[in-house]
Structure 1
Amino acid sequence: MTKILILGAGYAGLRAAKVLAHKKLDATITLVDRNRYHYETTSLAPVAAGTQRGQSVVLPLPENLPAQINFINGTVTKIDRDHKQVALADGQSLKYDYLIVSLGLESEDYGIPGASKYALPIVDLKSALAVKKHLENQFENYATSQDPDDLRIIVCGAWFSSFEFMGALVDRLPKLAEHYNVPFDKIDVQCIEAKDMILPMFDDDLTNYVKQWLKDHKVTLRTGTPIKEVQANKVITADQTYTANTLVWTTGVRGSHVISDSGFEQRRNRVMVTDQLCMEDDSKVFLIGDVSAVRQPGKPYPFAATGQIAFQMAEAAVANIVADLTGQPRQDFVYNDLGTVLGLGHKSGVAKIFGNHKLRGYPASVMKRVIDDRSVLLQAGVKALVKYGRIPL
C-alpha cells in the first residue's frame, strides 16, 4: 500500500488528513504531531489575554480523527528526502511514498538582541498560556511592589495577532484590575511597530477604525518605531527606552526550524513550492501551511500564511496525490480569498468579506466567531462543533 505521511496537525495537516481519509484510497495515512491535540492558532490571542480558556481552542487527538488515520504523538527532528524517511526525537524512523509537510510556525525575532530571551511570544497553546500566567503574576505582585511597570504591557509588533491580543486584553483588564485590586487608571498598554503602515490587508477606512478603537480604549500605538534591543523589562528604540514588566513579542513568524535543519532551500523556513504545491525536484513532497511559500500570480512575493489558505492548500495537495494514485492529471493551486476578519475582543472588530463588503464593530466580531466555528466543523465535524464551538447552536 502507498504510504502517505503527514507532518503536523495544525490547520493544514489536520485538514489534509481528514480529506485523505474520506477518499478511500489503497493507502496508509499517518499523521504525526508533537501534541496530542490540535489547537486553533487564530484563537490563541484571547487565550493569552485570558478571555478564553485554553481548553476552548483545543481539539483532542486522536479521538477527533477518522478511524482510517494512524496518529503518532512524536516530535519531528529531520526529513531525509534521499531515503524517503522522517526521524522522530524518540528514535523512530518513518518511511513514506508521499510526504505532506505542515509543521507550523515559530516566533520570528529578526535577530533583535534580547528579543527571544526577554519577550514572550504567542505561537502555540503553551506560549499563550505562559503570557496569561505572566500577566496575572505581575498584577498580583503590584499589591506588594507598587511598581508601575507591573501594570505596564508592551506589545512588540503590530501584526494581526497583536491587535487581536490587544482587543482581548481590553476586555480582560477591567476584571483583572478588580480581581487583584489594582488601580485601573494606572494600567498602560502600548504597541511598538517598526513600520508606518499597519494591517495592509485592509483599506484606510477599516485601518482607521482599528486605530480609533485602540485610542478610545487607551491603548497607545507607536508606528515607525523600530526596536533596536530588548532587555529585562525594557524595549529600546532609536530615541527612547520603554519599560514594562510584561513584554509580548508579536513581530512576525517563520516556519518550523525542521525545514532548515533538513537542508531545504528556504527563506525564514518557508519553501517556495511549485503551482502544484510540491517541490520542484521532488513531486511527491508537498509543503503546505506556514512552511510553504506560494507565489501570487503577477506578484513577486508569496501569499501570506493564514488559516484559510492553509485549508485550501491542504485540499489542493490531497487532490494532486489522489490524481497521481488514480491516473488523473494534477491541477495547479488556485487561491480563493474568502475575506479577512480581525477580532477586537468579544464585541468589536473589522472585516472585509465577499469581495469588498466591509464590517465594523459587533457584526465583525460575530463573523469572527462564525469563522472559528467553521474551522472546528471542517476539522472535526458536527459533534465537535457542538462541544467546542463558540456560538450556541
Structure 2
Amino acid sequence: MRVLVLGGGYAGLALTRRLEDRLPPDVELLLVDDTGEHLVLHELHRAIRRPSIVEAISIPLADVTYRADVRTGTVAEIDADERVVTLADGEQLEYDIGAVCLGAETADYGIPGVEEHGTPLKTVADAETIREEFLDVLERSGDRVVIGGAGLSGIQVAGELAALAREQLGDTDDGPELCLLEQKTSVAPGFDAEFQDAIENALRESGVDIRTESVVAGASEDAVELAAGERIECDQFVWTGGITGRTALDGERPVVRKTLRLADRTFVLGDAARVVDAEGRRVPASAQAAVREAAVVAESMVRLVEHDRRAAELFVPRPEPFRFDSPGWVVSVGDDAVAQIGPAVLTGRAAVAAKATTGASYLGSVGAVGRAVDLVYEELGPPPSE
C-alpha cells in the first residue's frame, strides 16, 4: 500500500510527520516535492533585509522526516479519481491514498505587465531579487518603490524595505517613497478592524504611504497604472496581490468542504485549496490553517489505511470534519510587529516576541530545534549576558 503526499510546505510536512508516527511500518509513505526543501514562508520577508536568515528557514525535507521516502520532482498532472500522478519527467506514480499539498502561485490576474515587471515573494530567489533591486534603487537615489497588495505578505515586504532603507541611509528623508497599494478599503483585508488599524499605524510610522481603493490595471518597466487612470512612476515594483492554483491543478484552487476531499481517496489542503470548514466558514490561506488541516487529514487517511487492512469491514469510515478556530494572528512591520491574540491587539516588544515565538514554535514542531534558536536570535537578538 502506498500513501502519497504531494508538496513539502506547511500542509505537506505537517501531514507527513503525523503519518510517519501513525502508519503501520509496512505502508509505504512517499513525499514528493519540487525542491526537496521546506521553506518557512511566513518568515521569508526577513531574507530581504537579513539574507543570513535563509539558513534557519530553508530546511532539507530529509532532515525533518524519518521514515518517509522523499522524492524531488515536479508534479505535472493529477488524476485524483484514478489515483495517478504524473511528474514533469514523465514518471507516473500510483497511490492508494493521497493528499495534494502543493501550495499556490502568485496570481497576476491577467493584468498586463504584472508578471513581467512585478517581483513576487514566494521563493528565496524572489527575496534576493527584491533586496538587490532595492539596494540598487537606494544607490541611484530612486524616487519610488511600489508594493502591490496589502495582505500580510505585502505589509511585511513594505516593513522590511522601510527598515532596510533606514539601515542603509540613516534616519533621513532621502530614501525612496514606499507606496503600498490595496484595492480594498483597508490594509489586511478580512481581518478585525482593530488589527487593521494597528498595522496601518505601524506602517505609517515606518514611512510607508498607504493607498487603499487603488486597483492595479497594468505595469511597465517604470510605472504602475491604476484602473482610475492614474500612472504611478516607480523604480521598483513588488507584487503580492493574491494567489492562484498550481499548474497540476489546472491553475485552480478547488473548493473543498469539511472533509477536505478532492476525490474518494484524495485530499487537498493548505493553499492548494479554498477550504470551507464544518461551520460553513471560509478558511484563510495561511500557515496555521494548513497545519491544522493536516492534523484532520492525517486522521482521515489513517482510518482509511486501517479500513483497507481489515478487508472484512464493510463500512468505509467517514473522514474527520475540519473546523478552523484561529488563536490569533501576527504580522511583522520591519523591527515592529502587530499581534492579535483573541480580542487583544498587541504592538511593540510584546508583538515582536509573539512573532518570534510563533516562528520558533513551528520550527520546533517539525524537529528543526537548532534552526528555531537561530530564528529567535535573528528576531530578538541573543539573550542578555548575566
Matched, 1:160 2:152: yes
Aligned residues: 369
Matched, 1:293 2:297: no
C-alpha displacement of 1:258: 1.4
C-alpha displacement of 1:209: 2.2
Correspondence 1:243-258 to 2 at 5 A: 243-258=233-248
Correspondence 1:79-158 to 2 at 5 A: 79-140=78-139, 142=140, 148=141, 150-158=142-150
Matched, 1:335 2:334: no
Match of 1:54? 54
Q: 1:203, 1:104 → 2: CA distance?
A: 25
Matched, 1:323 2:323: no
Q: So what's the TM-score if we normalise by structure 1?
A: 0.87
Query: Which amino acid is 1:152 matched to?
Result: R
Correspondence 1:68-83 to 2 at 5 A: 68-83=67-82
C-alpha displacement of 1:52: 5.5
Q: 2:182, 2:325 → 1: CA distance?
A: 30
Which stretch of the first structure deviates more once superposed, 43-52 or 248-257? 43-52
C-alpha displacement of 1:126: 2.2
Matched, 1:379 2:360: no
Match of 1:263? none
Q: 1:304, 1:202 → 2: CA distance?
A: 10
Q: Is the 8 A contact 1:288 1:310 kept in 2?
A: yes
Helix, strand or coil: the match of 2:264? Answer: strand
Q: Is the 8 A contact 2:36 2:70 kept in 1?
A: no
C-alpha displacement of 1:202: 3.7
The 1:321/1:336 distance shift into structure 2, 3 A limit, reads: same
Match of 1:358? 345
Query: Which amino acid is 2:188 matched to?
Result: L
Q: 1:291, 1:298 → 2: CA distance?
A: 20
Q: Is the 8 A contact 2:258 2:277 kept in 1?
A: no
Helix, strand or coil: the match of 2:62? Answer: coil
Matched, 1:220 2:212: no
Match of 1:28? 28
C-alpha displacement of 1:298: 5.4
Among candidates 292, 306, 312, match of residue 312 of structure 1: 292
Instruction: Tell me the percent identity.
Output: 25
- C-alpha root-mean-square deviation of aligned residues, in Å? 2.2
Q: 1:183, 1:201 → 2: CA distance?
A: 34
Q: Is the 8 A contact 1:227 1:235 kept in 2?
A: yes
Q: 1:14, 1:100 → 2: CA distance?
A: 11
Helix, strand or coil: the match of 1:53? Answer: helix
The 1:269/1:222 distance shift into structure 2, 3 A limit, reads: same
Match of 1:368? 355
Matched, 1:271 2:254: yes
C-alpha displacement of 1:10: 0.2
C-alpha displacement of 1:111: 1.7
Which stretch of the first structure deviates more once superposed, 90-99 or 131-140? 131-140
CA displacement 1:186-219 (0-9 Å, x = unmatched): 4211111112132244433332222222222221
Query: Which amino acid is 1:320 matched to?
Result: S
Q: 2:59, 2:76 → 1: CA distance?
A: 24
Helix, strand or coil: the match of 2:219? Answer: strand
Q: 1:59, 1:271 → 2: CA distance?
A: 28
Q: Is the 8 A contact 1:345 1:365 kept in 2?
A: no
Match of 2:311? none
C-alpha displacement of 1:119: 0.9
CA displacement 1:58-78 (0-9 Å, x = unmatched): 112312221x11001111111
CA displacement 1:1-59 (0-9 Å, x = unmatched): x2011111000001111110011423111111111211111012222344663223211
Q: Is the 8 A contact 2:224 2:232 kept in 1?
A: yes
C-alpha displacement of 1:222: 0.6
Helix, strand or coil: the match of 1:185? Answer: coil
Q: 1:205, 1:82 → 2: CA distance?
A: 45
Query: Which amino acid is 1:46 matched to?
Result: R
Q: 1:24, 1:111 → 2: CA distance?
A: 43
Among candidates 159, 163, 176, match of residue 171 of structure 1: 163
C-alpha displacement of 1:172: 1.4
Q: 1:194, 1:387 → 2: CA distance?
A: 37
Matched, 1:12 2:14: no
Gap regions ≥5 residues in structure 2: 308-316
Q: 1:215, 1:388 → 2: CA distance?
A: 27
Gap regions ≥5 residues in structure 1: 143-147, 261-267
Matched, 1:209 2:198: yes
The 1:384/1:220 distance shift into structure 2, 3 A limit, reads: closer
Query: Which amino acid is 2:214 matched to?
Result: T
Q: 2:51, 2:209 → 1: CA distance?
A: 21
Q: Is the 8 A contact 1:6 1:17 kept in 2?
A: yes
